[in-house]
Amino acid sequence: MPYALCFLLFMLGLYCAVVKKNMVKIVIGIMVMEYAVNLFLVMLGYRSGGTAPIIDKTQFDPATQQIAAGFLNTSVDPLPQALVLTAIVISLGSLALMISICVRTYEKYGTFDITQIRRLKG
Amino acid sequence: MKGMTIIVKTVSSWVKVLIVLFGIYIILFGHLTPGGGFAGGVILASSYVLLMLAFGREFVQKDLPLALDSKLDCLGAFFFALIAILGLVFSGVFFVNFLYQKYLPGQPLKLISAGTIPLSNIAIGLKVGASLFLVIFLLSTFRRDTSAGR
Amino acid sequence: MSIPLPLFIAVPLVIAFLLPLFGKKGKAAATVLANLATISLLVFAVVSIGRTEVYEVGKWSIPLGINLVLDGLSSLMLLAISVVSAAAMLFSARYMEQYTAKAKYLSLFLLMVAGMNGVALSGDIFNLFVFLEIASLASYALVGFGCEHEELEASFKYMVLGTIASIFILFAIALVYGNTGTLNMAYISKAIQNSGLNAGLKFALALFIVGFGLKAALVPFHAWLPDAHPSAPAPISAMLSGILIKTLGVYALARVVFNIFGVSVTIGWLLIVLGLLSMVAGAFLAIGQWDLKRLMAYSSISQVGYVILGVGLGATLIAEGADLAWASLAILAGLFHLVNHAVYKSLLFLTSGSVEMATGTRQLKDLGGLAERLPFTRTTCTVASASIVGIPPFSGFWSKLILVIAAVQAQFYWIAAVIVFVSLCTLIMYLKVQRYVFLGELPENLRQVKENKGSMLVAMVFLACLCVLMGLLVLVPGLKQAILDPAVQVLTDGLKYSADVMGM
Amino acid sequence: MAISAVTFWRLLHGVCPEQCEELAMTERMVAITMAIFYVLLLFMIIAAITAIETKNLLSSVICVGAIGFGASLMFLFLRAPDIAITQIVVEVLGLIILIRATISRDLTFITGDKEFFGTVISVVIIFVIFLAGVKVFETLPDFGTAIFAEVPNAASKKYIAEGLQKTGAANIVSSVILDYRAYDTLGETTVLFTSIVGATVILRKKAKKQLEDPD
C-alpha cells in the first residue's frame, strides 16, 4: 500500500510534466517524479522496526572486533540508500541545468509559457 | 542590491562561521556519522549563499572570486578522480581503497580510519560546495544583468 | 599490451576536469589536449579489439562491487564511439572558433564521450544509469550551446523528455532491485532465469523500453530529435545523431532485452514494429524538410529504425526457435548498419556544418551551385549520401543487403519490401540535398564562398575514406571475425551472458 | 501517549540502543510507524496536487518545498539519516534555485485557458497506467520486509556484516558509496560537474563571436 501511494505521487509528477504548459511547472513535475522514485527505492530497503545502517559504539566490541547480532538482524538495507544519495545529486544537477535553460529562455522569449515559445515547427 | 539591514548582516556574519564549521564537521565525520561529503559540501555552499543574500553579491565576490570558485570546482572533481587513479597506481586496480588496505588501516570508529573514504569525502565536499555556490551565484547575477539591460 | 579498462573512462574524465582551468590564453593548448584524449581513446579501442574481460572496480568481487565488462558488443561500441568522437573533435578544433567558451565546450564534449564509454562498458545496471545521465546532461548543455532562441527551446524540450526517460529507467531499476535484490546485470539475469518474469519485471521491462526508446528517438517517442539535433553545433549534431542515440538507446536496449530479460516473440515483434514505424515515418517526414540539418535529423530516425529492425528480427527469430544462422544474420545486419550509420551520418552532419560555416545558412532554398566553390565538401557529402542510400560498393549497401537477405530468408517478404521502399525514399532525400546544395545556380550572395581548410577537411576526408572502406568489414573474413562476429555472438547467446560474466 | 512520545524521540534519533529493542519489536511501535508513513505520504500527495494545480508559481514552488521536507521526514523514519540530511540541504538549495528563477518575474501567475479535452485524455491514460502499476507492486515483497533479507547471498547482507571490517567505515552507507560502489560516486560527481559546466555555458553572456575577429 505505501508503494501504491508512492506510485501515485510518481504519476502526479508525470501528469504535471506532460500536461502543464508552463516551464516552471514542468520542472516541478519532474522534481515530484524524482522524489517519488527516491522514496520508492528507500522503501524497498526498509524493515519494520529496523535501525539505521550506522554502527555506533554500543554495537561494536573493539576487543573482539565483533558487531552486535542485533544490528545485523535489524539494520535496513544500505544499498538503496547509497543509490538514492547518488540519485538525489543527479536530480539536483539536472535541476540546476534545467533552471538555467528556463531562465535563459525567459530572457529570450519573455515568457515561461511553452505554447508561446514555438519557433521550431513540428 | 546592497544587501539587507545591519541586524541581518551582523547575525549572518556570525552564523556563517558556525555553518562553515558544521559543514566541515559533517564532511570530516562522514564515515562515522550520517552525512558525508555531499551534504557537507551543500552546507558549505549555503553559508556563502547566506552571505550573498545578506551583504549583496559584490561583497561575496571579494571574499570568493568567481574564477577561484570555478577552479575549486574543477580541482575537487580532479582530486576525487585522482584518488581513484592512485588506487590503480598503488594497488593495480581502479578505485582500490589502497590506504586502508595497505598503508593506514586506522582504528574502527576513530576519525582517522577507513583509508581513502575521508579523503574522498573532502574532495567531494570541496567540489560540491564550490559548484553549487557557483550555480546559484550565476543564476542570481544573470537575472540582474538582464533586468538592468531592459 | 592490455589497457586497464577504467582508462576508457578515466582519461576523458580527468582531461575534462582540467580543461576549464585553461583560460582564454590556453585555448590552443586545451584543443590539442582534448584531441589527444580522443585520439588516445581511438588507439585504446583499436588495441582492445578481440579482448574479453571482466574488470572488478576496487577489487570487490561482484555482486559486492561494480564490474566493467568488455565483450564483443562493448568493443564494437567503443570503436564506433571513438571513431566518431575523434573525427568530430578534430572538426570542432576549427569549427568551434566561432563560439565563445571553447574550453568548456571541449570539456563537455569529453564528458559526453566518457559517459558513453561508461555506458558501453558497464556491467552494473545502476552504474549504466549514472553514466547515461552524464552523457545526457552533457548533450543537453551542448544542444543549447549557441544560446539562440531555437537552440534553447530545443534544448529544453530535449531535456524534459530526456529527464523523464531517465526517471523511467531509474524507476525500472528500482523495480528490478525490488524483485531480484541485486543490481549486477549478470546476477539479475540469473535471478530472472531462476524465477521467470513476473508482473513486476514485465512492467520494469516496459519502462526500460519506453525509457531507452525515448533516448533512441524511436517513432512514437521521437518528438525531441528533429529539434535537438539540428540546433546543436555541427560536430555535436554529428555526435548526437552518429553515436549518442545508439549508445544510450539502441545499445542499452539491446543489452537489457537480450542479455538481462531474455528475448520473447512479443518483444521481438514490438521492436520490429517500432523499427518499421521509425523507418517509414522518418523517411516521409525527411523528404518534406527544407532545412539541411533538419532533413538529416529526420533521416537519422529512419536509419535507427533499420538498426532496431535488424535487432528485433533477430530477437523474433531466436525466440521462435528458428535457425540461429538467420537470426545472427539479421543481428549482424543491424549492428553493421549501426556502425555504418555512425560513420556516414556524422560525416553528413560535418559536411552540413562545413556548408553552414562557409555560407552562413542551411536553408536548402537559399543554397545552390556550391559544387565548384566547395569541392571537398561536395565530394565527401556525395560519398556519404551514396553510402546512406545504399549504392554499391559504399558501406550502406552491404548492411542493407544483408538485412534484406535476412528478411527474405526468414520469409518476411513484406519487411524486405519496406526496406527497399525506404531506401528509395532515402535516395529521393539525398538527391534533393545534392540538387539544392551543390548543383543548380549559384546565388549572387554566395559567389565569395571559400572552402574550409585545416582540421575540418582532415576530419571529413577521414570519415569519407572509412565510408568507402567499411564494406571490407563484411567482405574480408578476418575483419568480420575480429570485429562484428563477437558482437553478434553476444546478442545471439542471450542469457548465457550471466554465466559468461560470472565465469570470467 | 507516553510510550508514543518516547518512541517518537527514539525514532528521531534513528539509532536504537539495546534497551529499547524489545520495545521496538512490539506491534504497537510498528503500527505507529506505519501510521506516520501514511500521514506523511498523504501530506506529500496533497502538497503535490496543490503544487500542480495552483496558479501562483511562487506558491507552487513552496509546495514543492513542502514535498521535499515531507520526503526528508519520511527518510528519517525509514532509517535513512544520511539521505534525510542530504535531502534537507538539497531541498533548501533547490528551493533557492527555483525561487531565483521564478520570483519577481513579470509573470508569476499562470494565465490562459486549458485545453480541456487534452487534459482529460492525459488524466485517463495516467490513471490507467496507475491501475496497471498498482498490480505490479504485489510482486514486490511486502512493505517492511526488505528484499535483501529474502535473497540468499544478497550483497547488502555482506555490506552490513563485513562493511566495517573491510572498509573501516562505521557508516555503512558511506562505505558503500565511497568504497564498494565508489565508481558510481565518481559518476555522480561527474554528473554534478557536467551540469555546472553546462549551466555556466548556458548562462554565459555572449555565445557567438564574429569569425573575422582577430581573437
Alpha-carbon span C156 to D142, nearest angstrom: 39
Indicate the helix (H) or strand (E) that contains B20.
Answer: helix B6-28
Q: Any idea what DSSP says for residue C256?
A: I
Which residue has cell 535553460? A101
pLDDT of residue D213: 43
- Among residues A72, D150, D37, the alpha carbon closest in space to that of C179 is found at D150
- Residue spans of the domains in chain C: they are 264-470
pLDDT for D127-153, tens place per residue?
888 888 788 887 777 777 777 777 777
- Among residues C405, C421, C213, the alpha carbon closest in space to that of C327 is found at C405
**At C464, which amino acid appears?**
A
Counting Cα atoms < 13 Å in the Cβ hemisphere of B14 gives 5
> Do residues C161 and C223 make contact, with C-beta atoms less than 8 angstroms apart?
yes
D-chain residues within 8 Å CB-CB of C152? 202
> Do residues B107 and D165 make contact, with C-beta atoms less than 8 angstroms apart?
no
Alpha-carbon span C57 to C67, nearest angstrom: 6
The x, y and z cell numbers of residue C51, run together, are 579482448
What is the rounded average pLDDT for all residues in chain D? 77
Distances (CA, A) of C232 to C112, C124, C298: 14, 31, 15
- Given an 8 Å threshold on Cβ–Cβ distance, is B109 in contact with A57? yes
- Given an 8 Å threshold on Cβ–Cβ distance, is B95 in contact with C57? yes
> Do residues D154 and C181 make contact, with C-beta atoms less than 8 angstroms apart?
yes
- Name the more confident of B104 and B42: B42
* Residue A80 preceded by cis peptide, ω within 30: no
Q: What value of ipTM does the predicted structure carry?
A: 0.92
Give pairs for C465-470: CB < 8 Å, separation 24+. Answer: C466/C83, C466/C343, C466/C395, C467/C343, C467/C344, C467/C347, C467/C383, C467/C384, C467/C387, C467/C394, C467/C395, C468/C383, C468/C393, C468/C394, C468/C395, C469/C395, C470/C339, C470/C340, C470/C343, C470/C387, C470/C394, C470/C395, C470/C398
> Do residues C426 and C302 make contact, with C-beta atoms less than 8 angstroms apart?
yes
* Helix-helix angle B66-91:B116-149, to 10 degrees: 150
Confidence bin at B148 (pLDDT 50/70/90): very low
Alpha-carbon span C375 to C386, nearest angstrom: 16
Residues 6..45 of C with a Cβ closer than 8 Å to D: which? 13, 16-17, 20
> Do residues D192 and A89 make contact, with C-beta atoms less than 8 angstroms apart?
yes
Question: Which residues of chain A are at the B interface, by a Cβ-Cβ cutoff of 8 Å?
Answer: 52, 54-57, 60, 62, 65, 85, 89, 92, 96, 99-100, 103-104, 107
- At residue A26, φ and ψ (nearest 5 deg) are -65, -45
Counting Cα atoms < 13 Å in the Cβ hemisphere of D214 gives 0
Burial class (CB within 10 angstroms; exposed 0-12, middle 13-18, buried 19+) of A64:
exposed
- Name the more confident of D5 and A28: A28
pLDDT of residue D55: 82
Closest Cα in chain D, distance from residue B6 (Å): 22
Give the pLDDT mean for C104-120.
92
A-chain residues within 8 Å CB-CB of C171? 10, 37, 40
> Do residues B49 and B28 make contact, with C-beta atoms less than 8 angstroms apart?
no
pLDDT for B15-73, tens place per residue?
888 988 988 888 888 777 777 788 888 888 888 888 888 887 777 777 777 788 888 88
Give the pLDDT mean for D24-37.
77
How many angstroms from the chain centroid is the CA of residue B96? 24
Name beta bridge partners: C67: C56
Q: Any idea what DSSP says for residue B64?
A: S
- At residue B3, φ and ψ (nearest 5 deg) are 95, -175
> Do residues C353 and C502 make contact, with C-beta atoms less than 8 angstroms apart?
no
Q: Mutation target for A interface from D25, D30, D40, D52: give the one with most A CBs within 10 A.
A: D52
Alpha-carbon span C76 to C6, nearest angstrom: 17
- Residue spans of the domains in chain A: they are 2-47+63-109
List, in order, residues 6 or more apart from D198 with CB less than 8 Å away. A97, A100, C108, C137, C138, C140, C141, C142
Question: DSSP string of D29-55?
Answer: HHHHHHHHHHHHHHHHHHHHHHHHH-S
Q: Does C65 touch chain D (CB under 8 A)?
A: yes
Alpha-carbon span D44 to D94, nearest angstrom: 17
> Do residues C50 and C73 make contact, with C-beta atoms less than 8 angstroms apart?
no
Residues 78..97 of D with a Cβ closer than 8 Å to B: which? 81-82, 84-86, 89-90, 92-93, 96-97
Counting Cα atoms < 13 Å in the Cβ hemisphere of B102 gives 11
> Do residues D148 and A45 make contact, with C-beta atoms less than 8 angstroms apart?
yes
Q: By CA distance, what is A113's nearest residue in C? A: C153
pLDDT of residue D43: 92
> Do residues C48 and C121 make contact, with C-beta atoms less than 8 angstroms apart?
no
Tell me how far apart the terminal alpha carbons of chain A are, to the nearest angstrom.
41
pLDDT for C130-157, tens place per residue?
999 999 999 999 998 888 888 888 899 8
Confidence bin at B105 (pLDDT 50/70/90): low
- At residue A110, φ and ψ (nearest 5 deg) are 75, 20
Chains that touch C (3 or more CB pairs under 8 A): A, B, D
**pTM (two decimals):** 0.92
CATH level 3 topology of A2-47+63-109: Helix Hairpins (1.10.287)
B-chain residues within 8 Å CB-CB of C59? 91, 93, 96
* Helix-helix angle C413-433:C375-389, to 10 degrees: 170
Alpha-carbon span D99 to D93, nearest angstrom: 10
pLDDT of residue C142: 92
Distances (CA, A) of D195 to C109, C134, C473, D136: 13, 9, 39, 34
- At residue C452, φ and ψ (nearest 5 deg) are -75, 145
pLDDT of residue D1: 39
- Name the more confident of C23 and B37: B37
- Given an 8 Å threshold on Cβ–Cβ distance, is C105 in contact with D201? yes
pLDDT of residue D198: 92
Kindly report the length of chain B.
Answer: 150
Q: Any idea what DSSP says for residue B113?
A: B
- Among residues B67, D111, D152, the alpha carbon closest in space to that of C195 is found at D152
- Given an 8 Å threshold on Cβ–Cβ distance, is C145 in contact with D201? yes
Chains that touch D (3 or more CB pairs under 8 A): A, B, C
Our CA angle for D181, D187, D188, nearest 5°, is 90
pLDDT for D89-135, tens place per residue?
888 888 888 887 776 555 555 555 556 777 788 788 888 888 887 88
B-chain residues within 8 Å CB-CB of D177? 36
pLDDT for A61-84, tens place per residue?
776 767 777 777 778 888 888 899
- pLDDT over 90, % of chain C: 42
- At residue D112, φ and ψ (nearest 5 deg) are 95, 145
Alpha-carbon span D143 to B106, nearest angstrom: 39
pLDDT of residue C423: 92
Alpha-carbon span C481 to D7, nearest angstrom: 66
Report the range of poorest mean pLDDT among B27-31, C8-12, D211-215. Answer: D211-215
pLDDT of residue D212: 46
Question: DSSP string of C352-389?
Answer: HHHHHHHHS--BGGG---TTTTSHHHHHHHHHHHHHHH
- Given an 8 Å threshold on Cβ–Cβ distance, is D192 in contact with B95? no
List, in order, residues 6 or more apart from B115 with CB less than 8 Å away. B97, B98, B99, B100, B101, B103, B104, B105, B106, D167, D168
* Helix-helix angle A78-109:C149-180, to 10 degrees: 170
Q: Is the pLDDT of residue B74 over 90?
A: no
> Do residues C184 and C139 make contact, with C-beta atoms less than 8 angstroms apart?
no
**Gyration radius from chain A CA atoms:** 21
The x, y and z cell numbers of residue C99, run together, are 563560439
What is the rounded average pLDDT for all residues in chain C? 89
DSSP E strand boundaries for C62-133:
67-70
- Among residues C320, C342, C338, C318, the alpha carbon closest in space to that of C328 is found at C318
A-chain residues within 8 Å CB-CB of B143? 103
Closest Cα in chain A, distance from residue D211 (Å): 23
Alpha-carbon span D193 to C134, nearest angstrom: 9
